Structure 1
Amino acid sequence: MKVALGQFAVQPDWHENLDICFDLIKRAAGKEADLLVLPEGILAQDMADPDLIPKTAQPLDGAFITRLAAETLKYPTLTIAGCLPIPDGKDRFYNTLLVIKNGQIIAQYRKLHLYDAFSHQESRSITAGDSLPPLVEIAGFKVGLMICYDLRFPELARRLVLEGADALILPAAWVKGSGKEAHWDILVKARALENTCYMIAVGECGQRNIGNSMVVDPLGVAIARAGEEPALIMAELFHKRIAHARDILPVLHNRRFLPPKFI
């Protein structure tokens, strides 16, 4: 499977972000990608306006998602994934990861773990999801869905891999701070290595967030990586690499604990 990671700095105006997404879709399709992963919060971001989410959030049939989905009809072999706030019907919002192909939303996941840490409080406007993310079949790979802060909870990644995930995708807006770049690097690699699966982690860049999108293989090797600037990077995933990793490092077979029960 060929994957493209579209790293960019999300703007306050959703029209600008839609144009950026269109460009990344076109470029990823031109490189024959099967999957394009976009960052977290692709609708709108503004460091100076903490209330931007309630001002800009759109429903699934809103203009942003409708036009984004329509754009995928031009590139029938490409699947795209990115997340944005969706109204929950109670004056709050779900941080929702959407997977879109051929003009249709084929999967969605509402973020389970809200970023109430490091002086941030995502729960101020976001409602936590209450369902485990699905697996999505893309180009012969089973892909599990995660969002940003989920990365710090290894039981979610392990659960998805035990259900059959070959790769995990993680759109993120990883906030800059003391040691935060190291946290990102360690955790993305750890989730891949401890589960002998691929990690496809895409971060927003810009003033607030670190970027540093990367693809890590099942033995913890970063096979593609971006810096702090906007970028489109590519990587190719192989079933034989997963099989090799699980043959020489059979941690999934050797484990002694059952997966935790989801409450």
Structure 2
Amino acid sequence: MRIAAIQTRAVAGDQEANLARIEEAARAAAAAGASLLIAPELALPGYGAGDDMRMLAQTSGGDLVTRLALVASELKIAIIAGFAEMAEEEIHNSAVFVDGRNPPIVYRKTHLYGDYERGIFTAGYPSASIIEYRGLRIGILICYDVEFPENVRRLAVAGAHLIAVPTALPATGHAKLIARKMIPVRAFENQVFVAYVNHCGADDLFCYAGLSAIAAPDGTLLAAADSKPEALLVADIRPDDFAASAIAAPYLRDVHHCSEWSQDQGAAHARDGHFAP
């Protein structure tokens, strides 16, 4: 499957402008043959919307997601985009998957970053939910989530081929380490594709690092953007092409075997009285 990722400069607080930008990117991605477009973290309200986030938050069945789904339906391309989700009087930093045919699927960020996010959002609960789309198995994480290796491993063990990571990585001294080193390592150590999709430019509150990338299971970058300009990345996701990589670096197989061995040894030690059950 061909996928696309839009590194964009969202307008903080202007969901109409941001929805129009995502639609424009979806048209370009569809014209390039892509079946999936991924947009950044909180791409619809803009990550730096600040105190306006509560006013901008909508339910997954609200007008904003409905209109996004209509774009997906018209262009026959699935879209993953970050939005501020209102659910039972709580706001979540969420990403929604729409394909225009099925009900929206929402992922809520589990690891909120810093006082800014914790002051606005309620964290979601870790899960291993997988989206089946045109033969591709997709997991979603949001920004800081991917920096915890157990989150990626959980989705890989559940059978994900691709992990989509809408992000709002700020321009700091360690941004390049995360985007150019950590992300390829996450892909390699879990034998999955990772699409890391960031904002660029700045708003009134934050300056963003850009550096969006699509990494393959062997750790190579299939597509990458620079730090500042907007960009549409396109890459072909063909898991079978990386079968040799999984044989050479069989982490998922061996961690499963190690887990089985640990359980067997633990039971034997317990029977021998080496530690209390």
Where does 1:35-74 land on structure 2 (aligned, <5 Å)?
Answer: 35-45=36-46, 47=48, 50-74=50-74
For 2:95, the equivalent position in structure 1 comes to 97
Compare the two structures and name the one with the higher strand fraction. 1
Task: Return closer, same or farther for 1:81/1:133 CA change in 2, 3 Å cut-off.
Answer: farther
Where does 1:15-34 land on structure 2 (aligned, <5 Å)?
Answer: 15-34=16-35
Counterpart residue identity of residue 19, structure 1 = A
SS in 1 for 2:39: strand
Distance in 2 separating the partners of 1:221 and 1:96: 28
For 1:237, the equivalent position in structure 2 comes to 237
Distance in 2 separating the partners of 1:93 and 1:233: 30
Over aligned residue pairs, what C-alpha RMSD do you find?
Answer: 1.7
For 1:249, the equivalent position in structure 2 comes to 249
Query: Deviations along 1:5-53, whole A, 9 cap, x unmatched?
Result: 1110110211111110110111111111111111111122375x63121
For 1:261, the equivalent position in structure 2 comes to none
Distance in 2 separating the partners of 1:45 and 1:233: 20
Counterpart residue identity of residue 129, structure 1 = G
Query: Deviations along 1:136-161, whole A, 9 cap, x unmatched?
Result: 12231211111100011100110111
Where does 1:181-196 land on structure 2 (aligned, <5 Å)?
Answer: 181-196=176-191
Q: CA contact under 8 A between 2:43 and 2:82: conserved in structure 1? A: yes
Task: Return closer, same or farther for 1:74/1:94 CA change in 2, 3 Å cut-off.
Answer: same
Distance in 1 separating the partners of 2:51 and 2:196: 26
For 1:224, the equivalent position in structure 2 comes to 223
Higher mean C-alpha deviation, range 55-64 or range 122-131: 55-64
Distance in 2 separating the partners of 1:214 and 1:36: 13
Distance in 2 separating the partners of 1:135 and 1:104: 15
SS in 2 for 1:185: helix
Identity %: 28
Q: Which has the larger radius of gyration?
A: 2
Superposition TM-score, scaled by structure 2 size: 0.86
Q: CA deviation at 1:189?
A: 1.0
Q: CA deviation at 1:196?
A: 1.3
Q: CA contact under 8 A between 1:43 and 1:57: conserved in structure 2? A: no
| 1:155 and 2:150 matched | yes
Task: Return closer, same or farther for 1:128/1:67 CA change in 2, 3 Å cut-off.
Answer: same
For 1:112, the equivalent position in structure 2 comes to 110
Q: CA contact under 8 A between 1:70 and 1:103: conserved in structure 2? A: no
Is there any run of 5+ residues in structure 1 with no aligned partner, and where?
A: 259-263
Query: Deviations along 1:181-202, whole A, 9 cap, x unmatched?
Result: 2222222111101111111111
SS in 2 for 1:58: coil
Counterpart residue identity of residue 82, structure 1 = A
Q: CA contact under 8 A between 1:115 and 1:123: conserved in structure 2? A: yes
Q: CA deviation at 1:241?
A: 2.4
Counterpart residue identity of residue 251, structure 1 = Y
Would you identify which runs of 4 or more consecutive aligned residues in structure 1 move more than 4 Å? none
